[in-house]
Structure 1
């Protein structure tokens, strides 16, 4: 319970000061370009990697990307680019 209050306090400060949430809170940032690519910033790791689904762990949730011919074009410690035909992006708590 204490951790939840601390996180809420941080979020309120970041919001009041109009600071970028992705930098200050480590929030995941997705940039989707049409149905061809997704750029994911602030991820922790790849949990599953298949031709039709890639599951990514972030600080707060899991992100599942469904489609066809999906592949990780590149990744660094901070970001990764997924390409292919993207049909659905799903967030799981």
Structure 2
């Protein structure tokens, strides 16, 4: 972890702040197996009916499923619907 990120993490711990907000980490909310909400993304890397890849800080989130659809896309938030089978977090080292 870079020195700046270590300092940010310590500040977040001291002031009891959420790490996703301070460090720009993704927040993923799964509702059943049909809805997925991702906050703090950096863009859409792949959009297909059976797979969506979303860029996040230091990596990518891959969603596998059937009939996947992007319902809403904002600068920080993405809302995905469809039958979701798998969610993978691929971190860059």
Matches of 1:6 and 1:44, distance apart in 2: 20
Q: SS state of the match for residue 3, structure 2?
A: helix
Which residue number corresponds to residue 60 of structure 1?
58
Matches of 1:13 and 1:76, distance apart in 2: 28
* TM superposition shift of 1:74: 0.9
Aligned residues: 91
Give CA deviations for 1:16-43 in whole Å, capped at 9, x if unaligned.
Answer: 2210222222111111001001001110
* TM superposition shift of 1:47: 0.3
Which residue number corresponds to residue 90 of structure 2?
92
The CA RMSD over aligned residues, in Å, is: 1.2
Which residue number corresponds to residue 21 of structure 1?
19
Unaligned runs of 5+ in 2: none
Q: TM-score of the superposition, structure 2-length normalised?
A: 0.91
Q: SS state of the match for residue 11, structure 1?
A: helix
Which residue number corresponds to residue 29 of structure 2?
31
Matches of 2:49 and 2:68, distance apart in 1: 5
Unaligned runs of 5+ in 1: none
